Amino acid sequence: MQTLLLPDAVAVAAADVTPRTQPQPRCVSVSMARAPRRESDPKKRVVITGMGVVSVFGNDVGAFYDRLLAAESGAGHIDRFDATGFTTRFAAQILGFSSEGHIDSKSDRRLDDCQRYALVAARKALESAGLALGSRAMDKIDLERAGVVVGSGIGGVKEFAGGVESLTKGPSKISPFSVPLTIPNMASALVAIDAGIGFLGPNYSVSTACATSNHCLHSAADQIRLGRADIMLADGAEAAIAPVVLGGFAALGALSRRNADPGTASRPWDRDRDGFVIGEGAGVMESLEHAMRRGAPVLAEYLGGAASCDAHHVARPRPDGRGVSLCIKRSLEDAGVAPEEVNYVNANATSSPAGDLAELKALKQVFKDTSQIKMNATKNPDPAVEQFDTVRDAKQRHQVHVGISNSFGFGGQNSVVVFAPFRR
């Protein structure tokens, strides 16, 4: 037996987000007989020291978390273009977004929403980490050992659509910014270019559809583990509510059609699920050594992650769950965690009829006893999910020992990351 220092009860609802305040630790005894060896070198241990969010629930992490716990839905009827002729006419739109105080007015008018969201989330994450732009703490950062990984599944859709429209008036009407503000890697570059940030270290983008943000976390953490950086900004941004995207997803049959009641459309594991809902919407990772040296707030520890591919279909998941189960197993191996230690799963669970079941099958292949694993669900669960300890129609308190977060994208590109409460 080994005694671990864990936070007190942590609430779990529609998504797992670290609370605003750090709960007092308590001691919990956990059997470690079968646990692999975890990383102990402070230079290679990776911790989360800041979070930022731009979402349908606003730009404040605390408010975002509270509204998730209240089981609010951000889905509503689309009003930024006429969606009358579409089979799905709703989405989770970001309304009333303001970048004031974060982006200068000229850039704000020019940038695609995808880049605007990434910049604001990145700045907010740095502020949360005690690295506000212009602060003494920020001035002490070795910019050559600080990097950025920002991903986007689609990139600057609005800018691309504008370029196509301009082309109908003649090639000379196309903006010189059309390509730079469309390509998915530009958000990562713009965060580093930001005059107040200026990180010179590793900088690249990831684009793996719905798995993008998880891949960014995994990639950023690896830069620290490999000794190439002390601090990394990991960010995912999407602004994909546009006619061509809505129509494309609808043609795939991937979207829910609950137009009469959008608030009930996203219902993972539910017997009546009929597809996902399009939505819009950073984190700071550091080596433990770097975080402790500057006295940074530590919100959680990143233990490991992995990536895999279904090698099956461009849009449908592999029915046997093999690619996903491989990803989960490898993430636990990378984290030095035994399956028995995991007691929370932030599931991918997009409300897809086939995808939800494939994920369940994969989870059961890895975790032999699922009765103690807390996982999100809905009021009308599919029988296949009954053997999990699911959170249904009300928030619950749960002592998270080790949690995994699953993200799987079109093309069968899978990513799983592993987190735990920080302990020295």
For residue 260, which phi and psi values (nearest 5 degrees)?
A: -75, -20
User: Under a CB-based contact definition with an 8 Å cutoff, are residues 185 and 203 in contact?
Assistant: no
What burial class does residue 294 get, using C-beta atoms within 10 Å of its C-beta: 0-12 exposed, 13-18 middle, 19+ buried? middle
Identify whether 27 is a catalytic site residue. no
User: Under a CB-based contact definition with an 8 Å cutoff, are residues 100 and 116 in contact?
Assistant: no
Closest by alpha carbon to 77, among 90, 88, 96?
90
For residue 8, which phi and psi values (nearest 5 degrees)?
A: -65, -170
Please pick, among 27, 114, 210, 327, the residue that the annotation labels catalytic.
210
What burial class does residue 349 get, using C-beta atoms within 10 Å of its C-beta: 0-12 exposed, 13-18 middle, 19+ buried? buried
For 339-373, the DSSP string reads: GGGEEEEE----S-HHHHHHHHHHHHHH-S--TT-
Token pair listed for 111: 């940038």
Q: Active-site residues: which are they? A: 210
